[in-house]
């Protein structure tokens, strides 16, 4: 586990060198106040009185514990963002642990507010991202993929659809740093087919150029999040 912790330090160092997507802080820290205790809403979170800040505001335990991958996707993402670690408020960085069962998948998704840098600790991951729509309508969105092994690092640019798939016969483990205190996640299948209320099937039938019964089937499925 010492090696894994070393990679976490590496991720944090690289993320602080990069330009964060969140606004730069104007003071040493701005420990977040729980939303339920806030009287107003701001872009981020309200600062706790500095005189009441304690070491625990900058501390999160337990990232050494494997996530539960007993689900249809065979993966679990354990987030450490501003909602779990209030001391991250205004610092433009967060962290995630990614656990994969054999052939487990972190399905195609985007982070609307963050670039992600991922390092593999155990196992073999097939990862990739797809570019945004090209200016030339005759070109297709380009897919960049790579097989990653322990010690390998891969970057997923902000906002682009990406995925991670465990292609090995054993469990896989990775850690990811993200350039936002609250990067957000949009899982493509969940958002398109599992929204509440559902998107009008006529819209999806036209968009995907399939029969309506296929859209009805997909919207009837249970779409789960793995975080």
User: Under 8 Å CB-to-CB from 86, ≥6 apart: which residues?
Assistant: 31, 32, 33, 34, 45, 48, 57
The 8-class DSSP code of residue 180 comes to S
CB 100 within 8 A of CB 106: yes
The 8-class DSSP code of residue 134 comes to P
Annotated binding site for oxalate: 106, 111, 116
Q: Rg for the chain (alpha carbons), in Å?
A: 19
Annotated binding site for Mn(2+): 109, 111, 116, 162
Q: Distance between CA 137 and CA 16 in Å, rounded? A: 37
Closest CA to 12 of 156, 148, 176, 127: 176
Annotated binding site: 106, 109, 111, 116, 162
Please count the CA atoms within 13 angstroms of the CA of 160 that sit on its side-chain side.
21
């Amino acid at each position: 586990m010492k090696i894994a912790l070393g990679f976490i330090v590496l991720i944090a160092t690289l993320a602080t060198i990069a330009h964060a997507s969140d606004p730069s802080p104007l003071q040493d820290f701005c420990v977040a106040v729980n939303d339920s205790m806030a009287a107003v809403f701001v872009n981020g979170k309200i600062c706790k009185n500095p005189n009441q800040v304690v070491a625990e505001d900058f501390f999160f335990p337990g990232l050494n514990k494997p996530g539960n991958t007993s689900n249809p996707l065979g993966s679990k993402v354990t987030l450490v963002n501003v909602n779990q670690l209030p001391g991250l408020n205004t610092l433009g960085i967060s962290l995630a642990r990614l656990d994969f069962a054999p052939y487990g998948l972190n399905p195609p998704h985007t982070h609307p507010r963050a670039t992600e840098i991922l390092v593999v600790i155990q196992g073999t991951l097939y990862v990739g991202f797809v570019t945004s729509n090209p200016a030339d309508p005759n070109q297709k969105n380009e897919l960049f993929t790579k097989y990653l092994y322990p010690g390998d690092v891969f970057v997923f640019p902000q906002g682009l659809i990406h995925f991670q798939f465990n292609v090995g016969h054993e469990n896989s483990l990775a850690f990811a740093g993200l350039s936002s205190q609250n990067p957000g996640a949009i899982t493509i299948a969940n958002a398109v087919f599992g929204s509440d209320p559902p998107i009008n099937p006529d819209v999806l039938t036209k968009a995907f150029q399939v029969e309506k019964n296929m859209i009805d089937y997909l919207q009837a499925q249970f779409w789960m999040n793995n975080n």
